[in-house]
Amino acid sequence: MPRRIGDVDNEGTTIVVGGGISGVACARALAGAGRPVRLVDRGRRLGGRMGGRTLHGRVVDLGASYLTAGEGSPFAPVVAGWVERGLARPWTDTFAVAGPGGIERTTTGPVRYGTAGGLRSLVVDLATGLDVQLERTVQAVTPGPRVDGEPAAAVVLAMPDPQADRLVGTPEGAADAGWQPSLSVALGWPDRRWPADLHGVFVHDSPVLEWLADDGDRRGDGAPVLVAHTTPALAAEHLDDPDGAAPAVVAAVRALLGIDADPQWTHVHRWTFAKPAEPRSAPFGLDAGIGRCGDGWSAPSKVESAWRSGDALGRELAGQLPG
Ligand SMILES: Cc1cc2nc3c(=O)[nH]c(=O)nc-3n(C[C@H](O)[C@H](O)[C@H](O)COP(=O)(O)OP(=O)(O)OC[C@H]3O[C@@H](n4cnc5c(N)ncnc54)[C@H](O)[C@@H]3O)c2cc1C
């Protein structure tokens, strides 16, 4: 039975709402500085947009595809620790690039890291030892600050702006428009029907696809599973009927890779607020004991930025709160 926030005295405790990587990083920084902190998430598991799902006997990453850690970034030692303990693995630095005529070339960039257990497993690992309350949807954060009426030392909203705005009572609309949706479509075949060195494909000028990842390759088990991410426009058309987008995605993936048969199965996941159109460069927001962090801050928007935003806010709060 999940505990309610009001079951204990929270006055000296910071409540972090949102158990994606930014919220966990924030809670970790507070706990590391000896400040009482509780992490609350509405989901059954931590991870947020680093989430996945077990499909046909194995975990498939349906949110973030991979993570990066810039040289000299404070996130780099965290990632190195995961690699050392076998939780994350360097995946590749090279992807294909496709245009309207198909795959045109490859492009090389930073090393991308994948995981055997799904990216969510890294968030779960980061939360080890924290006071976590799952399956609680916070309804309102009010001045005080208070979380659903209960006082807290400080409150952190570690989530996309439209979700945070709803909690503090900002009228809906403005922030929603600044966040783009996406659909992730997992596609499974009986065997691998694409080149072993494909890794992933950035797709340009397609009305359907933006990105395609080889999930078996990034996870290291070689499973014949691809994950396609749609354009925001296609996702927006199908927000009320995500499964309705599957045929267009199957056709686009088959045409792109020249695959001669439909997949055996597909699974569609909707991300209503997948990414901010214009993430801020400021690392976080903090006003009257209510902080905000996540990938809407610390631009550009990605896992590393979300971690940096949460970690920076946690350190700032730890400095401001009584020890
Ligand atoms: C399809 C897709 C592909 C991506 N690909 C990449 C990639 O390849 N590489 C990369 O680096 N980044 C990628 N990203 C971005 C990356 O996933 C995010 O930047 C990062 O995970 C954001 O973390 P966060 O903690 O800011 O937010 P989130 O992960 O969204 O966490 C917010 C949490 O708040 C919780 N919550 C919301 N409202 C409430 C409430 N009222 N009460 C309680 N809990 C609440 C939610 O359940 C959620 O767990 C991708 C994102 C998507 C959607």
Task: Using a pLDDT cut of 90, give the percent of the chain over it.
Answer: 91
Same domain, 321 and 208: no
Q: How far is the CA of 299 from the centre of ligand 1 (A)?
A: 14
Same domain, 7 and 141: yes
Residue 200: domain span: 65-76+88-116+180-277
Q: Is residue 244 part of a domain?
A: yes
Q: Is residue 92 part of a domain?
A: yes
Same domain, 195 and 259: yes
Domain of residue 97, CATH code = 3.90.660.10
Name all residues whose Cβ lies below 6 A of ligand 1: 17-23, 40-43, 48-50, 63-67, 137-138, 158-160, 163, 167, 182, 184, 229, 271, 274-275, 294-295, 301-303, 306
Q: Which atom of ligand 1 is nearest to the CA of 62?
A: 1
Q: Is residue 82 part of a domain?
A: no
Most informative mutation of 24, 39, 49 for ligand 1 (most atoms within 8 A of CB):
49
Q: Which atom of ligand 1 is nearest to the CA of 159?
A: 32
Please name the amino acid found at residue 56: H
Same domain, 236 and 249: yes
Same domain, 128 and 266: no
pLDDT at residue 172 in the model: 67
pLDDT at residue 3 in the model: 38
Q: Report the nearest-CA residue for atom 19 of ligand 1.
A: 302
Number of domains in the chain: 2
Domain of residue 297, CATH code = 3.50.50.60
Same domain, 283 and 318: yes
3-class DSSP state of 201: strand
- Provide the angle, in degrees to the nearest 10, between the axes of the packed helices 303-320 and 21-32: 30
Q: Is residue 312 part of a domain?
A: yes
- The CA–CA distances, whole Å, from 85 to 80, 116, 252, 269 equal 9, 12, 38, 30
- Mean of the per-residue pLDDT values for the chain? 94
Same domain, 268 and 128: no
Same domain, 254 and 135: no
Same domain, 185 and 309: no
Same domain, 269 and 313: no
Other beta carbons within 10 angstroms of residue 224's beta carbon come to 17
Instruction: Write down the H helix ranges in the chain.
Output: 21-32, 76-84, 120-126, 161-168, 174-177, 215-219, 232-237, 246-257, 303-320
Longest dimension (CA), the chain: 64
Task: Tell me the mean pLDDT in the region 91-113.
Answer: 96
Residue 173 has pLDDT above 80, yes or no: no
Same domain, 258 and 212: yes
Most informative mutation of 295, 308, 309, 311 for ligand 1 (most atoms within 8 A of CB):
295
Residue 126 · residue 24 · CB < 8 Å: yes
- The CA–CA distances, whole Å, from 141 to 149, 173, 297 equal 8, 19, 20
pLDDT tens figures, 57-80 = 999 999 999 999 999 999 999 999
Same domain, 126 and 42: yes
Q: Is residue 81 part of a domain?
A: no
Residue 175 has pLDDT above 70, yes or no: no
Residue 161 · residue 29 · CB < 8 Å: no
Q: Is residue 267 part of a domain?
A: yes
Q: Is residue 207 part of a domain?
A: yes
Cα 186 to Cα 152: distance, rounded to the nearest angstrom: 41
Q: Report the nearest-CA residue for atom 31 of ligand 1.
A: 20
Q: Is residue 83 part of a domain?
A: no
Q: Report the nearest-CA residue for atom 50 of ligand 1.
A: 64
Q: What is the value of pTM for the model shown?
A: 0.95
Cα 141 to Cα 13: distance, rounded to the nearest angstrom: 15
